[in-house]
Amino acid sequence: MPATPSGLAVRARALRKEFGSFAAVDGIDFDIARGEAFGFLGPNGAGKTSTMRMIACMSPRTGGELEVRGMDPATDGRAIRAGIGLVPQEDALDTELSVLDNMLVYGRYFGIPRRAVRARAEQLLEFAQLSERSDAKVDALSGGMRRRLVIARALISSPDLVILDEPTTGLDPQARHLVWERLYRLKQEGVTLVLTTHYMDEAEQLCDRLVVMDRGRIAAEGPPRQLIEQQVSREVLELRLEDADEGRALEALKGLADRIEELPDRLCCYGEDGDELLAAVIDAGVHPNGVLVRRATLEDVFLRLTGRSLAD
């Protein structure tokens, strides 16, 4: 443990995780303040889940420094885990138990006294809008209900740090919004949230700050809006063109657009003002088959930093 804990929820320096000769996490630095919502973005295999598992003290680090809740996972894993709630990627619910029993049994793993755990479980099932299903078997729940149950379960020990690995993957829009709303309430209560996600809108909605990971390293870091401004321009013009027109369009945009990305089906032109870019193209006598002017999003940042090719 460091001589003086940093006062941060999580602090990592040159953090590494190797499996054999493969470095899943290749020396990363980050700070997560208490009460902050912090996101890890990145393609599959970028090292997000490995990082999460190290923070959750479920996997020993191979090198570097890591401090979680003021303690060192290498020596104080049990004490750290006592204050962490985990929402794993796979629900890992106990399918042999009912909804309520899942909560009760899980609470007992934290050493919560029997009577206290029941009161807390009922309260949390209320929070997750699952009170009516408390006697149901886990298998009988919908995907959204299961996810809510997993979040409720993660909160049974009143953790000050909640780790969520892809909390809304596979959920329908209604279920996603309900999960977001609950997570937002947690954040209001001062709980530190650490999450991974593939959904850029989710990251923009929930995260105060985030890092984009790629191949075990951190490619960029900052608040969502700031990342967009730094990494890509404010607006994007997407053009669908006849092949014959492409040369002329590119000529017209030269010097105007900050960056042009040529995709098989369209051109993405990044710039301060999308309409201005479009006007230049029209003036050059090009008639696009399709036009979209939009604000740049985190997804543009993500694709710029981690490329468009599939990771696996």
Give the distance between the most distant pair of CA atoms in the chain.
Answer: 76
Nearer to another protein, 99 or 236 (CB): 99
- SS3 of residue 17 by DSSP: strand
Cβ of residue 62: shortest distance to another protein, in angstroms? 6
> And the tokens for 298?
């985190």
For residue 262, the minimal CB distance to another protein (Å) is: 42
> Among 178, 91, 86, 90, which Cα is nearest to 138's?
91
- Pick 84 or 281: Cβ nearer another protein: 84
Kindly tell me which of 65 and 122 has the beta carbon lying closer to another protein.
Answer: 65
Binding site for another protein (CB under 8 A): 1-2, 13-14, 16, 19, 56, 58-65, 67, 72-75, 77-79, 81-82, 84-86, 88, 90, 92-97, 101, 104-106, 108-111, 150, 153, 157
Q: Which is nearer to another protein, 86 or 218 (CB)?
A: 86
Taking the complex as a whole, the smallest distance from the CB of residue 268 to another protein amounts, in Å, to 40
Residues in a beta bridge with 193: 37, 162
User: Which residues neighbour 172 within 8 Å (Cβ) at sequence distance 6 or greater?
Assistant: 143, 144
For residues 220 and 227, the answer to whether their CB atoms sit within 8 Å is yes
CB of 117 to another protein, least distance (A): 11
> What's the closest the beta carbon of residue 179 comes to another protein, in angstroms?
18
Residue count of the chain: 312
E runs forming strands in 44-111: 63-68, 84-87
**Which is closer to another protein, CB of 13 or CB of 259?**
13
Q: How far is the CB of 56 from another protein (least distance, A)?
A: 6
Determine contact, residues 223/211, Cβ cutoff 8 Å: no
Q: Would you say 16 or 187 has its CB closer to another protein?
A: 16
Using CA atoms, how far residue 42 sits from 102, 220, 286, in Å, is: 32, 10, 37
Bridge partners of 67, per DSSP, are 11
Q: Which neighbouring-strand residues pair with 221? A: 211
Give the nearest distance from C-beta 195 to another protein in angstroms: 15
| Closer CB to another protein, 143 or 222, in the complex | 143
- What does each C-alpha distance from 161 to 44, 56, 151, 241, 255 come to in angstroms? 24, 9, 12, 49, 48
Q: Considering beta carbons, is residue 78 or 294 the nearer one to another protein? A: 78
Q: What is the dihedral of CA 94, 98, 103, 109, to 10 degrees?
A: -50
Phi, psi of 64 (to 5 degrees): 85, -170
Cβ of residue 227: shortest distance to another protein, in angstroms? 29
- Secondary structure (DSSP) of 62-73: SEEEEEETTB-H
